[in-house]
Amino acid sequence: MKSIYILLLTVSMVFIQGCAKERKAVEEPTPVVDEDRFDETPTPPSGDDTSQGNKVPLTITSTSTMEDYTLRPLNDPQNISIEINLDDFSDGDGKFGGRISISYTDNGNLYSSDQRTTYSGSQYGSSGDAQYNIWFTSGGDQVWHGFFEDAFGAIVVVIDEVIDLGDGGVGDLVGGSVWFKNFGATYAPKPPMTRCWFIRRGPYDCRTFMSGGGVSTTSSVNPNNGGYRKLGNFTGLSKSQAFNE
């Protein structure tokens, strides 16, 4: 009887040690990518997302400005880049939506943001949320604007460094700038299914390029009102890959 009791006690101790090791392994943090600028699982911009996009370095205006964008303290951010992955939401009419991601490494960890224009139906016209995301001509030069948002704020992408091919088209490699505006601390609920560039007042209003009381995306090359700040510049972006041409 005593030998059976010792055997059962030994088996119990081995089982407890095994569980403790398994629990310790589960509890050990394994951070790889921290996406704390959005608090929901991203959804593809449309249907089966087979697009590729293009990723290039982003030269930031300053580390303090980058901290304001990331909403976290930074030590020595490296490998800062922007990835642009867009599709035509307007059946060939040139109004593009999709995904913008800004990423960087700091203290050995990779961090990334995720801002989107996601087609949300016809309440904003045939192009959905992307009606301001167009190519246009300003001062004889080709320019592209894009509004994007996440749970924390909005960014505007401006492409204004292009090689004009003389036939209305532009060369494949383009450059531009990124501008951001955070919503700030608020207890106000955000209107459901409404992108911030369609909100007319309150903490979630992220409109810019304002003219005559509304958004006129062709009224200025860079955000000229609305509280946007310049995050940085990029060059060498493949237009054909970023716009999935």
Q: Is 1 in the same domain as 41?
A: no
- 123 and 50 in a common domain: yes
Is there a single domain that holds both residue 58 and residue 8? no
Q: What is the pLDDT of residue 127?
A: 60
**Across 98-112, 114-128, 177-191, least confident range:** 114-128
Same domain, 25 and 38: no
Average pLDDT, the chain: 79
Cβ-based burial of 77 (10 A; exposed 0-12, middle 13-18, buried ≥19): middle
Q: Are residues 15 and 71 part of one domain?
A: no
Are 88 and 165 members of one domain? Answer: yes
C-alpha 244/C-alpha 242 separation (Å) is 6
Look at residue 129 in the predicted model and tell me its pLDDT: 85
Number of domains in the chain: 2
Check whether residue 25 and residue 85 sit in a common domain.
no
What φ, ψ does residue 125 adopt, rounded to 5°?
A: 100, 180
Q: What is the pLDDT of residue 55?
A: 95
Question: For residue 126, what pLDDT band results from cuts at 50, 70 and 90?
Answer: low
The pLDDT tens digits of the residues spanning 165-211 come to 777 678 899 999 999 999 988 888 888 778 899 999 899 999 999 98
| Amino acid 51: pLDDT | 52
Same domain, 95 and 157: yes
Q: Please tell me whether residues 186 and 141 are part of one structural domain.
A: yes
Range of the domain at 141: 33-242
Q: Quickly state the pLDDT bin for 108 (edges 50, 70, 90).
A: confident
pLDDT at 36: 53
Q: Give the mean model confidence (pLDDT) for residues 111-122.
A: 73
Burial of 56 (0-12, 13-18, 19+ CB in 10 A): middle
- Residue 86: closest CA among 57, 33, 142, 127: 127
Same domain, 99 and 20: no
φ/ψ of residue 53, rounded to 5: 75, 180
Q: Is the pLDDT of residue 1 over 80?
A: no
Give yes or no: residues 23 and 53 share one domain.
Answer: no
| One domain, residues 15 and 73 | no
